Structure formats: structure tokens, C-alpha cells
Chain A
Amino acid sequence: MNFQSAMQPKDDTLKPDAWSLRDHLLALWTGCTQPTRFSFLLMIVVLVSTTLLMVVGVTPRTLAGPLGDYVPRSAENDEAFATIQALRLADPQAPVGKAPRVYVIGNSRIAQTFASDEKLKHSLQTLTHRDWDVFFLTTGRQGALDETALAEFATKRQPGVVILSASFDRYEDDVAELMKYYRMARIGYRSDWADEQVRQILHTRPRSRTGIYLVDNRKFFLLNAGAASLRLVSQTPAERKIDAYIYKQNAHKLATYRATILKSLRINYIPKKLSVSILADTVRRLQERGNKVILFDVPVSSELVSSDADHKRYAIHLQGAAALSSRLGAYYCRPSDEAMPPPQAYRDYFHIADPAVQEQMRMLLAQCVENVSREKGRS
């Protein structure tokens, strides 16, 4: 059938002048489903232009903006939340606040102990009668090099009081373990401080850099791009949950977990030189920027260190951590022996789950922050 014959009046579909919904739907359907040279070329153009847009458009600057809200995949995607938070704090255009700042950088135990930035801010305000800005950059099983990366970016523009972990579990890393977490590239930007520590302390070559964000942070991008696109389109950013590390565990898992933590204590109650070197380097860099550093020792359950030998090891760790903090010029903070949380405050010997005890810990940290911020000439 050609065009002329199609114009014959007997056929309803052949009247171009008469508007017909059916004709439009058929035309649209055919347009959507019929491969043509035009649609193929358009597909290539869209493919190339979107790729270029991502390469040029996805940068630390854009992620520090409103786009960053959509990057975390879920409420518990702590690496993405910490990354975006750090990028925003380091952004040259970010406003510098008048209130003093507290940066909480640490692993799941630190996050679980203080639980909420708003609640910690409230504790600080209650204790000091001043306004504070509190930023949580916590990630589960945070490697020492990730800690360094987060510390570098968080304090880039404005110094403050930086909270780091002093617990024995931070010292268990050897070179292989440290590099394993470094190569996981869980934090979505490249850190000069962390790369220098890899080069100078671990005597290993850092990950290569091209200067193109998408290439240098391809794993972070690949993990988050899909969910971020859908969250952006549907305008539904994830709400962060900081204290997201309490799991229901059966008796067998709990026993295995207890054994794992005790093994860590038995190996690391005297800190490893390598981990101490990295911690010392990070603390020094932070102090050079004018930050004050608090090393917070999250207490473990007394049920974990019930044997005399483990109790002694834990006591040696506490003494050593205090001495190390003093040597590094940092402020050591932990609850007194009388104020140690009861065993029922924990669900797994290690993470504090009781909201009342979390509040006690926040008030203790607030007191330490107040003490350290009033000291002059000493970090």
C-alpha cells in the first residue's frame, strides 16, 4: 500500500487532517518500537553525552552540593554518608560556622556509643551553655587509613575538636590488613594524607591517580551510581542511622564473636608499632592544623574480661592508651572505673546498646570536649 492509495476516503486511518487519538497512539507506539537510523544515532548520542556528563559532572564539588544527598544507598550506608559529609566540610565554598566544631571519626563502637549527632550536640549545649556543630564521620570496621582520609577532609577548612578511637581493636592491623582496607576504597575520594602514610609508613605504593574523579573513585561510583540515580529521580534521599550496629545474634554467633574480640584484646593490649605510627602521624597532622584531639576509649563489657588474665590485659591496655595519648599530645577520655557501663548495656560485649548509657557516654564526651577546648597550648 502506498501513500496515495492510503489517502482514499474509505479508510478511517488514512485521513491526516482529522485528529484521531488512535492514530497518535499508533504513531507513538511505532516510533517507540521501530528501530530506525535516527533512533540508533540518538541512542549513541545519549550514551556518549551521558558518559561525558558523568565524567565532567560527578566531582567532589558537585557531590558536596545537593546531589550528594542522593548518594547513600540506604540508612546504613555509612561509607557514603561519611564521604559526602567530609566532601561538604572540605568544600571551598562551604560557609565557615561561628560555633566550635566537634568531628567524631571512628568505627562502629564509636558510632554506637554516641548514637546521634543531634543528641551529642544537645549534650554539649547542656553542659557548656554554648552552641556546637557536631559532625559524625563514622564507618563500620573503619581502617586506620580511612580514618586519616576522613580526618584530612573534615578539618580542611575549620579546625575543631577531633574524636578518634583509642580502643585496642584499632591496633590489630598489620601492613596486609591495612592495605586490604585501603584498597577496598570505601571512602569516595582520594586523600593525600592517607597516600603519604601508605608511602612513608607502610613503604608501599599508593593507588594510582589520574585526577579524574570517576576513574580514581570508580568503585565508589559503581557501587552507588544506580541507587543514586533512582533516588535522584524519585527525590528520596536516605536518612542516616548512626547507631546501626546492633544485631540480634544467637548464642553460637555470640560465643564466636566473644572469642574474636578476646583474641583481639590478647594480641593488641600492647599497641602495635605500625598502628601507633599511623595514629601518631594523623594526630600530628591534625594538631598542625590547630585541631585538638581526644582519644576516646569505648569501654568493653565486664563480662568480656571476666577472667583474671584478660582483666589484667585490659588494665594494661587502658594504662597504655592513656600513656600513648599523653605522648601524642592528645586528651585521653574514658569512663572512670566506677562509671563503667553494666553488662546489660551491651548486646554483644562490645557495642553499647542501652540509650541511657549512650546518654551517659555523650555527657562524658561533652565534659572531655569542654576540658580540652578550655586548655591552652596543649592538644
Chain B
Amino acid sequence: MSKKRWVPEKGPVRTWRIGQIVQGVVLGVMLIFAGIGWVAHYGNVTAFKYQGF
């Protein structure tokens, strides 16, 4: 398995770089959502619930 393992020096570096960009963007956006969720949770933000009156 280790023989077949891909390293940047062996293959299409541009495709690998695209993967890196995808990784950075996805993690960055996920951190944004996590931050919003964290602040909402610890800020005790809850939606108003209509109870019929």
C-alpha cells in the first residue's frame, strides 16, 4: 500500500492544490457556522415560540 501512496512529487500537483483549496474553504466556512452555533448556544438565543395567545 505504501508503494502506491500518492505524494505531491509524484502526480498532478495542480489537482492536489485544488484539493488544498477545497479543504481550506470548507474548513473556513465550517468554522463560521460553528462560531455562529457556539455564540447562539452560549448566548442562550432561542426563537420565540407562539403558544396560541
A residues lining the B interface (CB < 8 Å): 1, 3, 6, 11, 13-14, 16, 23-24, 26-36, 38-47, 50-51, 73, 79, 108, 140-141, 169, 184, 186, 218-219, 222-223, 225-226, 229, 245, 247, 249, 257, 260-261, 264, 348, 350
Instruction: Bin the interface of chain B by size.
Output: 35 or more
Give the residues in chain A near B36, CB-CB below 8 Å. Answer: 222, 225-226
Pull 19 A–B residue pairs with CB atoms less than 8 Å apart, ordered by A: A1-B3, A3-B10, A23-B6, A24-B11, A26-B11, A27-B13, A28-B22, A34-B19, A34-B23, A42-B23, A42-B25, A45-B24, A184-B48, A218-B43, A222-B36, A223-B45, A225-B36, A247-B52, A264-B53
Give the residues in chain B near A47, CB-CB below 8 Å. Answer: 28, 31-32
Q: State whether the Cβ of B47 lies closer than 8 Å to any Cβ in chain A.
A: yes
Contact at A44–B28, with CB atoms within 8 Å? yes
Interface of A is mostly: helix
Contact at A186–B48, with CB atoms within 8 Å? yes
* B50 CB → nearest A CB, Å: 4
Give the residues in chain B near A23, CB-CB below 8 Å. Answer: 6, 10-12, 15
* Binary A-proximity of B12-53 (CB < 8 A = 1, otherwise 0): 110111111111110111011100110110010101101111
Contact at B11–A43, with CB atoms within 8 Å? no
Q: State in angstroms the CA–CA spacing of A201 and B16 once bound together.
A: 64
Q: State in angstroms the CA–CA spacing of A1 and B4 once bound together.
A: 11
Contact at A46–B10, with CB atoms within 8 Å? no
